[in-house]
Amino acid sequence: MIILTMLAALAVVMLLAFMRASIWSWLLAMIVFVPVLAIQSQLSADVFQVVIIALVVVVAVLGIPTLRRLLVSRIILKVFRNILPQISQTEQEALDAGTVWWDGDLFSGQPNWNKLLSYPKAVLSAKEQAFLDNETEQLCAMLDDWDITHVRQDLPPQVWQFIKDKGFFGMIFPQVYGGLQFSALAHSAVVAKLASRSATAAVTVMVPNSLGPAELLLHYGTPQQKEKYLRRLAQGKEVPCFALTGPFAGSDAGAIPDYGIVCHGEFNGQTNVLGIRLNWEKRYITLSPVATLLGLAFKLHDPDHLLSAESERGITLALIPTDTPGVQVGRRHFPLNSAFQNGPTQGKDVFVPMEYIIGGPEYIGQGWRMLMECLAAGRSISLPASATGASKMAARTCGAYSRVRKQFRLPIGKFEGVEEALARIGGNVYMMDAARTLTTVALDMGEKPSVISAIVKYHCTDRARLIINDAMDVHGGKGICMGPSNYLARGYQQTPIGITVEGANILTRSMIIFGQGAIRSHPYVLKEIQAAHDPDAKRAVHTFDAALFAHISFSLSNAVRAWLFGLTGGHGIPVPDGAATQRYYQQLTRYAAAFALAADVAMLVLGGTLKRREKISARLGDVLSLLYMCSATLKRFEDDGRPDSDLPLLHWSMQDALHKIQTAFDGVLQNFPSRFAALILRALIFPIGRCLAPPSDELGHQVAALLMQPGATRNRLTSGMYVPGNESDAVGALEAALLSTLNCEPLQAKVEAARKAGKVNALDELARIAEAGEHGAINAQETQMLERDYILRRKVIMVDDFAPEELRSVG
């Protein structure tokens, strides 16, 4: 009988877990089952009496809100305040910035997949598509990356003018200011296409449309500032840059030493003007060498209290024409042979009036908040788009080269070692583009997903590095010899730039994704922290009590769900229909519950020290990131119409990510400081061990084959990149060579058969083709096809060489 009672209790617990029951429901279950179990255990009367008294006390204390707040929540709140880590002002403003979107569902442990699939499909407007097909295509055709990066170290003048004239600098500007007013999706698509052709052009276009003067003016500028600058910026009559990073303040932007002193001075012939005397030294500022308008972040001081009684006014932003006396721009950095304009800027005793503050005096001291709110949008677009565009180019060229290039009479793409690299390239590009697209959908819905922006920035740039490394390996000597024929090497050189900027990837992974997500995206943690900082003691206890006990119920629910899903492998979880995708939704739901549980345990056990446990935080961040990347991949497959031919790409990317989630969890458990907590977590998350395997060799073979075969799947995978139609172009020649190779292989077999029959004896390939034609083994048209095929293959395989004097300026 006692076993049946325990089973019934277990069933009720599971039901409560799945219902996300309140604390009262859990207490009610205790009231019902504890006495029954006590009776059936045949306890003595005294012991039974103690059990019942203890139960009554627990239920009364936890179930009566007034008692609970007095005896439990007030005490826990006091302890919580003591262990809560110190949060700097800049950290707090970063936490407050942006919105919570799909990351909130993932942190809940119970993602609503139907909600995800109901989000709009990413579709460009007719105007946006026309711009991509015409102006952007024309710009790509004007770009010669070897000329840009080796000869000029800059874009040609006609390219600069085209960019300005066609509105590339004004993609995000409203039409009322002369801008294109494009969606985030269109902005991303333009940058991605340009990046598939030239990183220099992509960076030049994306910076004025990303975090900088334009976006800051749009959100915070005064009417006078908007009227003065936005139209000129949109038309390219002003070239903007934004200066934040300096020699002594990189990732720790709160430590910037650049300062401004409120004072009176002379400006434009007027005396006694109230303004700011600025001093700064900045570096790594893109477009600074050619900028006409400088956005500047600095700390404002008011020692004479000309504005208020407060002396230290905080980080403030100003917009300064670069021809202002004392402003220094023009010198350049040379980041990894990139030709985009990037350099330092300094200012010595530069006096500007108060109206130069972005937003006017009311925005004094709010600079960091302004930057963080804009960063969520800018970081979601520029770097994910540029990384994905470059990766698509690598995927398309690797597939073609692997089919055209032969060794041992076999295309190199059919060697299993090369297949492994091609599979990684294809699977990663498929997932990157899915994440890039879904994130722009969020932006176009009005979201500013700060945590997700960090996820896509990190994963797209990091995967781009893996892709370009694999692409270089596949190309071998072709990839390492610089010159006009090399379409990979500059990307290989420049990949670390995207890894480094807008939040270095090491910092993003180890501190930002989970560190920020645990507070912003968790359903209760931010409420608990806000209560801890509330100066109203009564209100603080009420708020904390409600959040704490909802949090406890939430954690109990996820513990039970994680354990049950671990036992069943997620089978039986209700998810959207789809034979190919059902198990993926179930496995993601399982791991979302496990992640929510692990996050709560980590915060409970480690407390304030979790901030310094960066390796634990990084691995938990990996789980959250991969849950998002997988969500985007499934959404992409649905929006594409579930094409069967894309299944190898879907399966490879999902299986690879799920296996990495499993590995990240294992890393957390192996290294968790509390071994007892780690054992409990392992029993709940992996009750029957780790069961997921990485993608199989056969699946990798299928992905590699898709990259080497022209068709709808290859085109979908690399859609939006620039594909030259000119055979004089290295990439255009490769595209032509791929088609020619597939068409001519049967003809080459005829020539080989003639050679074996003794009809063809020439040693040179072109001579063999001619001889085969003369002997009738192939007809005249086939002879021409084979001769063209040889020329194309040779052009694709050959590398550049130079006279010694030509190499003197090679960088």
Contacting residues for 803 by C-beta, under 8 A, at least 6 apart: none
Q: Is the pLDDT of residue 392 over 70?
A: yes
Q: Please give the Cα distance from 556 to 29 (Å, whole number).
A: 13
pLDDT value of residue 79? 84
Look-up of token digits 């108060």: 354
Q: How confident is the model at residue 81 (pLDDT cuts 50, 70, 90)?
A: confident
211-263 per-position pLDDT tens digit: 788 889 999 999 999 999 999 999 999 999 999 999 988 767 778 999 999 99
Average pLDDT, the chain: 90
Q: How confident is the model at residue 85 (pLDDT cuts 50, 70, 90)?
A: low
Residues 219/373, Cβ–Cβ less than 8 Å: yes
H or E stretch covering 410: strand 410-411
pLDDT value of residue 145? 96
Contacting residues for 165 by C-beta, under 8 A, at least 6 apart: 236
| Of 347-356, 370-379, 684-693, minimum mean pLDDT range | 370-379
Sign of CA dihedral 95, 451, 461, 193: negative
Sign of CA dihedral 251, 213, 435, 700: negative
Residues 81/407, Cβ–Cβ less than 8 Å: no
Residues 156/201, Cβ–Cβ less than 8 Å: no
- Chain-centroid distance of CA 169 in Å reads 23
Q: Which 8-state DSSP code applies to residue 763?
A: S
677-699 per-position pLDDT tens digit: 999 999 999 999 999 999 999 99
* Helices 199-209 & 157-165 angle (0-180, nearest 10): 40
Q: How confident is the model at residue 608 (pLDDT cuts 50, 70, 90)?
A: confident
Torsions phi, psi for 279 (to 5 deg): -135, 130
* Helices 199-209 & 213-220 angle (0-180, nearest 10): 20
Residues 614/667, Cβ–Cβ less than 8 Å: no
Nearest to 624 by CA among 781, 452, 462: 452
Q: Please give the Cα distance from 457 to 469 (Å, whole number).
A: 19
- Calculate the alpha carbon distances from 720 to 388, 547, 723 in Å: 10, 46, 9
Q: In 10 A of CB 214, how many CB atoms? A: 30
> 4 or 202, which is more confident?
202
pLDDT value of residue 54? 65
Residues 583/634, Cβ–Cβ less than 8 Å: no
Q: Could you tell me what percent of the chain has a pLDDT over 70?
A: 90
Residues 97/453, Cβ–Cβ less than 8 Å: no
Q: Is the pLDDT of residue 523 over 50?
A: yes
Look-up of token digits 């056969």: 698
Contacting residues for 96 by C-beta, under 8 A, at least 6 apart: 369, 372
* ∠ CA 266-269-270, rounded to 5°: 60
pLDDT value of residue 175? 95
Q: Which ranges of 640-717 does DSSP label H, i.e. alpha helix?
A: 647-671, 675-685, 697-707, 712-717
pLDDT value of residue 343? 97
Q: Please give the Cα distance from 343 to 347 (Å, whole number).
A: 14
Q: Please give the Cα distance from 551 to 527 (Å, whole number).
A: 10
- Calculate the alpha carbon distances from 144 to 39, 133, 148, 207, 777 in Å: 85, 19, 6, 21, 42
Q: How confident is the model at residue 501 (pLDDT cuts 50, 70, 90)?
A: confident
Q: Is the pLDDT of residue 768 over 90?
A: yes
Q: Is the pLDDT of residue 3 over 60?
A: no
Torsions phi, psi for 196 (to 5 deg): -75, -10
| Of 17-21, 96-100, 466-470, minimum mean pLDDT range | 17-21
The catalytic position among 502, 735, 771, 782 is 502
- Calculate the alpha carbon distances from 340 to 156, 163, 199, 314 in Å: 11, 14, 8, 32
Nearest to 796 by CA among 489, 494, 398, 390: 398
Tokens of 366: 């709010």
pLDDT value of residue 69? 82
Q: In 10 A of CB 161, how many CB atoms? A: 12
Q: Is the pLDDT of residue 1 over 70?
A: no
502 is catalytic: yes
Q: Is the pLDDT of residue 188 over 70?
A: yes
Regarding pTM above 0.85, the answer is yes
Q: Please give the Cα distance from 402 to 703 (Å, whole number).
A: 13
Q: Please give the Cα distance from 373 to 218 (Å, whole number).
A: 12
Q: How confident is the model at residue 404 (pLDDT cuts 50, 70, 90)?
A: very high
> 437 or 369, which is more confident?
437
Nearest to 461 by CA among 376, 381, 383: 383
pLDDT value of residue 277? 98
Q: Looking at residues 499-519, what average pLDDT do you find?
A: 89
pLDDT value of residue 102? 96
Residues 321-334, buried b or exposed e (16+ Cβ, 10 A)? ebeeeebebeebbe
H or E stretch covering 240: strand 240-243
Q: Specify burial of residue 743 (Cβ count, 10 A radius: 0-12, 13-18, 19+).
A: middle
284-319 per-position pLDDT tens digit: 999 999 999 999 999 999 999 999 999 999 999 999
Q: Could you tell me what percent of the chain has a pLDDT over 90?
A: 74
Q: Please give the Cα distance from 665 to 686 (Å, whole number).
A: 9
Residues 668/690, Cβ–Cβ less than 8 Å: no
Task: Give 128-137 contacts, CB < 8 A, sequence gap 24+.
Answer: 128/182, 128/183, 128/185, 128/186, 128/189, 131/180, 131/182, 131/186, 131/190, 132/186, 132/189, 132/190, 132/193, 132/720, 135/166, 135/167, 135/168, 136/190, 136/193, 136/194, 137/193, 137/722
* Helices 450-475 & 367-404 angle (0-180, nearest 10): 30
Q: Please give the Cα distance from 785 to 769 (Å, whole number).
A: 10
Nearest to 694 by CA among 666, 663, 718: 663
Q: In 10 A of CB 21, how many CB atoms? A: 19
pLDDT value of residue 281? 97
Q: Which 8-state DSSP code applies to residue 311?
A: S
* ∠ CA 327-331-333, rounded to 5°: 130
pLDDT value of residue 15? 42
Q: Is the pLDDT of residue 107 over 80?
A: yes
Q: Which 8-state DSSP code applies to residue 644?
A: G
Sign of CA dihedral 730, 732, 733, 734: positive
